[in-house]
């Protein structure tokens, strides 16, 4: 994780067409290439991109799975929301290759050409998320089984934190949602507390969450969630809305 890897200066330098060719004027051949910013599938962010492709005048991701791991939630969201562009952000090179290769396979195999709306990139979300997306464009952000960083001196590394929450609020559309799930009670309390005291977020009640299929999807779509279920562990969730 320590080797430096490229990142864009700002969203003008991000080319969403290479990740989701079928949502643009891309060919079948382009749709089966992998770009995910890993060593094996490198990409660059050297030049400003045509506004048709950099999110200014065209499609762009609206669902973000932060720390997507093996990608279970990315695949499930893509299947359930065929019109929404879903992006997994993950820092570990090998996992990003795995998820991206699987997306390529799914695009080829699935008879009705699903999964054209799924992609994954290697990035450090805590450092660079703001350089990828435009203000007020994101509809949903998912934080599933985030690293707990148990030691008190490491709490500032937690991915839900006051400073980062301001960045997420900047990126989310009004009424956009943040979903958190974890099997670590202490982390759940931390996440809920920090979200609750941030003035850009409001906790959603059970009634308000009725009919939101994502609340179900986060339970058992991810590999970590499935592991907790197998081991009979407990899961805590909370969902907040951007004010
Ligand atoms: N969400 C997945 C799941 O539920 O199966 C993976 C959970 S795993 C415990 C946490 C993941 O977050 C790891 O894959 C880790 O590499 C990733 N991660 C941690 N910090 C990150 C960061 N700053 N940017 C991107 N990914 C990160």
216-238 pLDDT tens trace? 999 999 999 999 999 999 999 99
147, 183, 186, 220: the active-site residue: 147
| pLDDT bucket at 110, cuts 50 / 70 / 90 | confident
The fraction of the chain above a pLDDT of 70, given in percent, is 99
The CA 144 to ligand 1 mean position distance, Å, reads 8
The CA 223 to ligand 1 mean position distance, Å, reads 11
| pLDDT bucket at 170, cuts 50 / 70 / 90 | very high
State which ligand 1 atom lies nearest to the alpha carbon of 92: 16
The CA 138 to ligand 1 mean position distance, Å, reads 19
As for the ipTM of the complex, it is 0.99
- CA 60, CA 30: separation in Å to the nearest integer? 17
**CA nearest 202: which of 161, 142, 243, 141?**
243
Average pLDDT, the chain: 96
39-68 pLDDT tens trace? 999 999 999 999 999 999 999 999 999 999
Structure confidence at residue 230 (pLDDT): 98
The CA 88 to ligand 1 mean position distance, Å, reads 10
Structure confidence at residue 145 (pLDDT): 98
Residue 1 has pLDDT above 60, yes or no: no
Residue 21 has pLDDT above 70, yes or no: yes
Alpha-helix runs per DSSP H in the chain: 28-31, 72-80, 93-109, 125-132, 162-171, 185-197, 206-209, 213-220, 223-230
Strands 138-144 and 86-90: unpaired
Specify the residue with its C-alpha closest to ligand 1, atom 11: 67
State which ligand 1 atom lies nearest to the alpha carbon of 146: 10
Residue 147 annotated in active site? yes
- CA 104, CA 239: separation in Å to the nearest integer? 31
**CA nearest 58: which of 18, 106, 10?**
18
3-state secondary structure of 182: strand
The CA 183 to ligand 1 mean position distance, Å, reads 14
| pLDDT bucket at 2, cuts 50 / 70 / 90 | low
182-200 pLDDT tens trace? 999 999 999 999 999 999 9
DSSP state of 32: T
The CA 142 to ligand 1 mean position distance, Å, reads 11
Domains plus CATH for the chain?
A: 60-242 (3.40.50.150)
Structure confidence at residue 114 (pLDDT): 87
Residue 125 has pLDDT above 90, yes or no: yes
Best residue among 63, 91, 128, 179 to mutate for probing ligand 1, ranked by most atoms within 8 Å of CB:
91
Mean pLDDT of 128-157: 97
Best residue among 69, 88, 126, 182 to mutate for probing ligand 1, ranked by most atoms within 8 Å of CB:
69
Where does ligand 1 bind, in terms of residues with CB under 6 Å? 67-69, 89-92, 95, 124-126, 144-147, 222-225
CB 146 within 8 A of CB 181: no
68-83 pLDDT tens trace? 999 999 999 999 999 9
Specify the residue with its C-alpha closest to ligand 1, atom 12: 67
Best residue among 1, 67, 77, 181 to mutate for probing ligand 1, ranked by most atoms within 8 Å of CB:
67
Strands 236-242 and 201-203: antiparallel
Structure confidence at residue 64 (pLDDT): 99
The contacts of residue 55 (CB under 8 Å, 6+ apart) are: 11, 14, 16, 133, 134, 137
State which ligand 1 atom lies nearest to the alpha carbon of 223: 5
């Amino acid at each position: 994780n320590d080797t430096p890897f490229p990142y864009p200066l700002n969203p003008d330098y991000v080319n969403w067409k290479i990740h989701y060719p079928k949502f643009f004027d891309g060919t079948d051949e382009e749709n089966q290439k992998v770009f995910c910013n890993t060593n094996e599938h490198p990409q660059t962010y050297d030049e400003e991109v045509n506004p048709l492709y950099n999110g200014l005048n065209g499609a762009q991701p609206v669902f973000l799975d932060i720390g997507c791991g093996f990608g279970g939630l990315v695949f499930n969201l893509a299947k359930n929301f065929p019109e929404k562009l879903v992006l997994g952000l993950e820092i570990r090179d090998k996992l990003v290759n795995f998820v991206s290769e699987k997306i390529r396979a799914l695009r080829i195999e699935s008879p009705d050409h699903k999964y054209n709306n799924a992609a994954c990139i290697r990035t450090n979300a805590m450092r660079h998320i703001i350089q990828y997306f435009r203000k007020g464009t994101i509809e949903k952000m998912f934080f599933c089984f985030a690293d707990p960083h148990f030691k008190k001196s490491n709490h500032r590394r937690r991915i839900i934190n006051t400073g980062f929450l301001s960045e997420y609020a900047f990126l989310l559309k009004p009424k956009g949602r943040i979903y958190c799930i974890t099997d670590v009670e202490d982390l759940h309390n931390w996440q809920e507390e920090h979200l609750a005291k941030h003035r850009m977020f409001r906790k959603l009640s059970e009634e308000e969450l009725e009919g939101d299929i994502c609340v179900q999807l986060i339970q058992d779509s991810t590999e970590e969630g499935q592991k907790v279920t197998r081991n009979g562990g407990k899961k805590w969730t909370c969902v907040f809305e951007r004010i």
